[in-house]
Amino acid sequence: MRAILLAAGLGTRLRPLTDTIPKCLVPINGKPLLDIWCESLLAAGATKLLINLHYKSEVVQSHLAKSKFAQQTETVFEPRLLGTAGTLRANKHFFEGQDGILLHADNYCEADITELVGAHSKRPTNCDLTMLAFRTQTPQTCGILEIDNKNILSNMYEKSPDDHGNLANAAFYIVSKKLISELHDEADFSNEVIPKYFGKALVVETRETFIDIGTPETYALAQRVAKIR
């Protein structure tokens, strides 16, 4: 299985740290976040990784070229950000007609990727999307998922101030080749793609550490709790 890692963001909320380093390379206890993702995905059986870039793209390209992941990774530069679904649409050929992974590389994740891939392979036949989920302490900042008794997605509430629980979208997806083929003109995956798959998306909850490295506070939290030392 191949994976697209979304790593083109500006990381404005992490300034001044991201004034000199792209968000995907911020270190978690000394190891760049992107390296953690590459290690986890390749260990879980991913065969090729595509990383989209924009802000400080040359820094990321230089880092990867000198890394142990050079042979398994490639990058694509976006002079204008295409959006999460836009990047998937523009690079659908990368999956070579097979199911694949799409994820936001600015999260710290200790979930078992092999387990998620296994769940996708055994998903109900009507499901074209498998989503990783986690429990959040700040539901108003996340996409909150509503699921039925079979863990099938029935609704999602994006950054709602209302109480919809705390089961959050981890922005780690396994997309079927059917879903990829059905993409048309969507730019945002959360708001434009996921709603089309209510009733057709399997949600897999992880109990392992999952943190959105979006603010200085969550970045500091990751440094404290990450198993990487």
Cβ atoms of 129 and 176 within 8 Å: the answer is: yes
Would you state the pLDDT for residue 229? 60
First to last CA, the chain: 29
Return the axis-axis angle of helices 33-43 and 57-65, rounded to nearest 10°: 50
Cα(124)–Cα(138) distance, integer angstroms: 30
Residues 6+ apart with CB under 8 A from 16: none
Phi then psi for 226, rounded to 5 degrees?
Answer: -60, 140
Report the alpha-carbon angle 37-184-187, nearest 5.
Answer: 50
Q: Which residues of the chain have pLDDT under 70?
A: 11, 229
Cβ atoms of 116 and 172 within 8 Å: the answer is: yes
What the block records as the tokens of 180 is 């990829």
Domain 2-225, second-level architecture? Alpha-Beta Complex (3.90)
Report the alpha-carbon angle 205-208-210, nearest 5.
Answer: 85
